[in-house]
Every structure is written in structure tokens, then in C-alpha cells.
């Protein structure tokens, strides 16, 4: 099988949270024998051992577009009024229309250059690019070349119009032509129904996972009691306060640490330096307990997967999570992960886990075994191949 991916980004230095997952997914596809071609919507198409990189056809335009977007999102410019009451601001709409006029034609030219060179392509898959920037592209490719074009939205449900999305992200569905795609793939089981109501012809679910070779346990001393890594408080303020800030004050002898940005007042918690993405594994493995604080959108819609639980489990971490609807789809509570019912429960759980080393380590071991059995990116790659086969 040969697949062409248009990824939102492959640059790990940029603030696109799904980029590490795309690396692992494409690597997993390579490992099961898929011929992978990859380009990017933003930034350079980075070459790797696992895919053939094709230069981004709109890198210059994308860089200019990003600069323009940052300019209009300055505090004085973010007070734009809603357009037609849809939740899309005037500046959002202007950016979308500009992209449709300038960027979409470049992508049609790109497909006309690349697809004839690879007539054995089985499908083209867009990985969470702003689909309302490229209206008509999927229809163009499917009608001209007979190749299915699939859209994988890895941000469901936060990306959907009934959720606010992220302040730093695109509102990708306003003005989009959802029905032009052969089908959608969603990271969220519960969010699939919303995509169908929006006009998607078909929706398949493909959860996140972890590469157990990348996210593997390290033989390091556990000198951190509780650790959290993530960016911004957005849509999880109460749980960050109760699980980290308040708990650190109530457990003054426990060492709390975080690595992240814009998390607010974290009480007696130590802030660790960012350093590099690869440093995360060491930080997590140094912690006796790893905290998973999932944003409200994902936590409130059934089985809306995010990367963090799979990454932590793959490293053999003892995970304590805020309430997360459908988490039992992937892990068994109290055996493979600790699931809180309330913020008040956090301190009690922390105390028990920190005083029971054998039981705590057993939870982490069980979590990694579950990943190896069901949730590696090789599993996800095979599931994606099965989805593509079903379109043939």
C-alpha cells in the first residue's frame, strides 16, 4: 500500500501538539510495510528514515500567512465581531477567504505534479490541516484521479463548531465543504456523530497511541513525587488547581514538578526547564506519579483520545487522571490507571500511592502491558490500513 499524507506539520519545534503523534503514526505505517509519502501544510516537509518527504508547495505562503495571523491576533485585534453569529470572527473569515484564493490553487498544482508520478497511490490523507482553507481540493483529486481523499481530524471534539476550539488554533469547519471527502477519521468515538450531522459521508475512529520504543521506561532514580507536563490552563483550570496547585500546598513534604507553559499559579510546584521534547521521557520516568489532566472537551465526550495517557502508560508510569469519559475504553481504572472522581480525592490518592511502592509500580507495569497489547502506533497503523482498504 502507498499513502500520501498532507500533515499539519512535521516540525517538532513548532507549537502543534499532534506533531509527535504524526511522526509515530507514519513510522508505524513504515514498520508494517506501507510506502509513505509525506508533505506539510505548515513549515518544512522533514525527511526521515520512515517516509519520503515531498517539499511543502506553500511554505512561503504559509510563513507569510502565519505572520499575518499573528499580527491580526494581537490583543487590539482580537476583539473582532462575530460574522453572521457563527462564532467565526471577521478576521477569521478574512483569513479563510484569503487562504482559499491564494493557497488552495497551489495545492491543486501540487496534486497535479505528484499524483501522476505515483499512480499506485491508494489514498491521500489530510492530517488535521485547516480543511476550510482548501475547499474543492478533495473533490478535484477524486474526480480527476479516482483516489479517495480522507480527512483525519485529530482534535475532535475541540475542533468542532459547538466547542470553542483553542485560542491559538484555526476554526477549521466554518465555511468548509465536509461532504466532499470520501470519509472522515476521528480520534473521538463520541465525536463521530457530530461529523455525520455536519455532512460527512462516513466516519471511522482511529485513537491515538504510543510508540513503545520511543516512550519506553528508563532506569532512573525516581526523585520526583508527582509530575505533570502540558501547555496552558485552557479548559482544565479547575483540575490543574485541585490536582497540582492545591495538592502541593496540602502535601508540603511531596515534591511536585511540572514542565509546561502558561499554567498559572501552581502553589509549591517546581517548574522544570523545557530543554527538548526528548527530555520529557526522563522527567516522566523520574516521577513516582504522573498526572494526566485532560481538557474539558476531550474529557466530556465519550472516548475522545489524546496522546498523553498512551505516552505515559507506554513509559510504565503510574497515572492519576481527572475524570475522563470513556477512559475505560483503553485502560482499566484502579488496575492500569487511577481515575479521580473529584478534586478532593486527589490528595488522598496521592498519599496512598506514595506510601505503597509495590502497588504503585504494578499499576505502571500493567499500563505498559496494555499499550503493548492494544495501543501501539503499529496497531493504529494497521487499523488505518484496514480503513483505507475498505474504501477500495
Q: Report yes or no on 344 lying in a domain.
A: yes
pLDDT at 45 over 80: yes
pLDDT at residue number 169: 57
Q: Report yes or no on 20 lying in a domain.
A: yes
My answer on whether 23 and 150 are in the same domain is yes
Q: Report yes or no on 216 lying in a domain.
A: no
My answer on whether 272 and 360 are in the same domain is yes
The predicted-structure confidence for 144-161, as pLDDT tens digits, reads as follows 999 999 999 999 999 999
Q: Report yes or no on 316 lying in a domain.
A: yes
pLDDT at 79 over 60: no
Q: Report yes or no on 324 lying in a domain.
A: yes
Closest by CA to 264, choosing from 276, 246, 283, is 246
CATH number at residue 167: 3.40.50.2000
Residue 294 in grid coordinates: 485532560
My answer on whether 312 and 366 are in the same domain is yes
My answer on whether 230 and 348 are in the same domain is yes
For the segment 384-388, the average pLDDT, to the nearest whole number, is 98
My answer on whether 203 and 233 are in the same domain is no
Q: Report yes or no on 218 lying in a domain.
A: no
Per the structure, the count of domains in the chain is: 2
The predicted-structure confidence for 162-187, as pLDDT tens digits, reads as follows 885 555 456 899 999 999 999 999 99
Q: Report yes or no on 215 lying in a domain.
A: no
My answer on whether 280 and 321 are in the same domain is yes
Domain extent for 295? 224-375
My answer on whether 9 and 130 are in the same domain is yes
- What residues are paired with 227 via a beta bridge? 257, 290
For the segment 50-54, the average pLDDT, to the nearest whole number, is 98
pLDDT at residue number 83: 34
Instruction: Give the number of other CB atoms < 10 A from CB of residue 229.
Output: 23
Percent over 90 (pLDDT), the chain:
77
Among 81-90, 106-115, 147-156, 336-345, the minimum mean pLDDT is found in 81-90
Pairing of strands 35-40, 149-153: unpaired
Residue 103 in grid coordinates: 493557497
* Pairwise CA distance, residues 324 & 331, whole Å: 11
Q: Report yes or no on 385 lying in a domain.
A: yes
The predicted-structure confidence for 204-253, as pLDDT tens digits, reads as follows 999 999 999 999 999 999 999 999 998 888 889 999 999 999 999 999 99
My answer on whether 276 and 337 are in the same domain is yes
My answer on whether 24 and 89 are in the same domain is yes
pLDDT at 292 over 70: yes
* Pairwise CA distance, residues 86 & 109, whole Å: 32
pLDDT at 379 over 50: yes
What is the rounded average pLDDT for all residues in the chain? 91
Please give the full DSSP string across 296-315, using - where no structure is assigned.
Answer: HHHHHSTTB--HHHHHHHHT
My answer on whether 172 and 269 are in the same domain is no
My answer on whether 197 and 236 are in the same domain is no
My answer on whether 271 and 355 are in the same domain is yes
Amino acid at each position: 500500500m502507498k499513502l500520501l499524507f498532507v500533515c499539519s506539520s512535521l516540525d517538532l519545534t513548532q507549537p502543534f501538539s499532534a506533531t509527535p503523534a504524526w511522526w509515530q503514526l507514519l513510522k508505524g505505517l513504515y514498520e508494517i510495510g506501507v510506502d509513505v509519502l509525506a508533505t506539510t501544510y505548515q513549515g518544512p516537509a522533514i525527511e526521515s528514515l520512515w517516509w519520503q518527504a515531498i517539499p511543502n508547495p506553500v511554505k512561503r505562503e504559509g510563513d507569510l500567512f502565519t505572520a499575518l495571523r499573528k499580527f491580526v491576533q494581537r490583543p487590539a485585534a482580537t476583539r473582532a465581531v462575530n460574522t453572521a453569529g457563527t462564532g467565526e470572527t471577521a478576521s477569521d473569515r478574512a483569513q479563510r477567504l484569503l487562504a482559499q484564493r491564494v493557497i488552495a490553487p497551489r495545492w491543486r498544482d501540487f496534486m497535479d505534479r505528484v499524483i501522476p508520478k505515483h499512480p499506485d497511490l491508494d489514498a491521500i490523507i489530510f492530517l488535521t490541516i485547516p480543511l476550510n482553507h482548501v475547499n474543492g481540493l478533495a473533490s478535484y483529486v477524486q474526480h480527476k484521479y479516482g483516489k479517495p481523499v480522507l480527512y483525519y481530524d485529530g482534535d475532535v471534539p475541540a475542533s468542532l463548531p459547538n466547542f470553542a476550539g483553542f485560542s491559538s488554533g484555526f476554526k477549521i469547519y466554518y465555511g468548509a465543504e465536509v461532504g466532499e471527502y470520501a470519509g472522515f477519521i476521528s480520534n473521538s468515538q463520541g465525536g463521530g456523530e457530530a461529523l455525520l450531522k455536519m455532512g460527512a459521508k462516513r466516519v471511522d475512529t482511529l485513537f491515538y497511541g504510543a510508540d513503545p520504543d520511543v516512550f519506553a521506561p528508563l532506569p532512573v532514580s525516581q526523585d520526583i513525587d508527582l509530575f505533570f507536563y502540558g501547555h496552558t490552563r485552557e479548559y482544565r483550570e479547575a483540575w490543574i488547581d485541585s490536582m497540582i496547585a492545591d495538592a502541593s500546598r496540602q502535601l508540603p513534604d511531596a515534591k511536585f514538578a511540572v514542565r509546561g507553559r502558561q499554567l498559572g499559579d501552581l502553589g509549591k510546584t517546581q517548574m522544570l526547564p523545557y530543554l527538548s521534547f526528548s527530555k520529557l521521557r526522563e522527567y516522566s520516568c523520574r516521577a513516582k506519579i504522573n498526572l494526566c489532566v485532560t481538557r474539558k472537551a476531550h474529557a466530556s465526550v465519550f472516548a475522545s483520545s489524546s496522546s498523553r495517557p498512551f505516552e505515559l502508560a507506554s513509559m510504565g508510569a503510574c497515572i492519576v487522571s481527572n475524570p475522563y469519559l470513556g477512559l475505560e475504553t483503553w485502560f482499566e481504572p484502579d488496575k492500569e490507571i487511577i481515575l479521580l472522581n473529584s478534586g478532593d480525592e486527589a490528595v488522598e490518592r496521592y498519599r496512598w500511592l506514595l506510601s505503597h511502592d509495590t502497588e504503585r509500580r504494578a499499576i505502571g507495569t500493567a499500563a505498559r502491558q496494555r499499550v503493548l497489547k492494544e495501543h501501539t502506533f503499529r496497531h493504529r497503523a494497521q487499523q488505518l490500513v484496514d480503513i483505507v482498504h475498505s474504501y477500495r
